Amino acid sequence: MLITLVQAFPDHAQSVELDLPAGSRVIDAYQACGLQGEEGQRFAIYGKEVEAERVLREGERIDLLRPLRLDPKISRRQRVEAARLRRLRASS
């Protein structure tokens, strides 16, 4: 059964195609892929987070998830504040 593992970075992505036996789990594919992950690695299949013990199906793509570098709420507040400051400067 063919499976693809993808690890994305801000500037590029790596992908590995694997031919695994039927009944293989996400963790089996991860251990076979040779990509570097992190302690407590999290996984997604087509963007939906899954457990490491989930059994794979033919043709699925596993995404290796990275931890967030910045809380999305904080990031949004920073963007809103920056836009507000730009508007204030433009109106002066």
User: Domain extents for the chain?
Assistant: 2-67
CA 27 – CA 24 distance, rounded (Å) = 8
**In CATH, what number does 2-67 get?**
3.10.20.30
Determine the pLDDT at residue 23.
95
**62 residue type, one letter:** I
Q: Alpha helices, DSSP H only, in 1-92?
A: 26-33, 72-91
Segment 4-51, tens digit of pLDDT: 999 888 888 889 999 999 999 999 999 898 876 667 789 999 889 999
Determine the pLDDT at residue 38.
67
Name the residue among 64, 48, 67 with its Cα closest to residue 6.
64
Segment 53-75, tens digit of pLDDT: 999 999 999 999 877 677 788 88
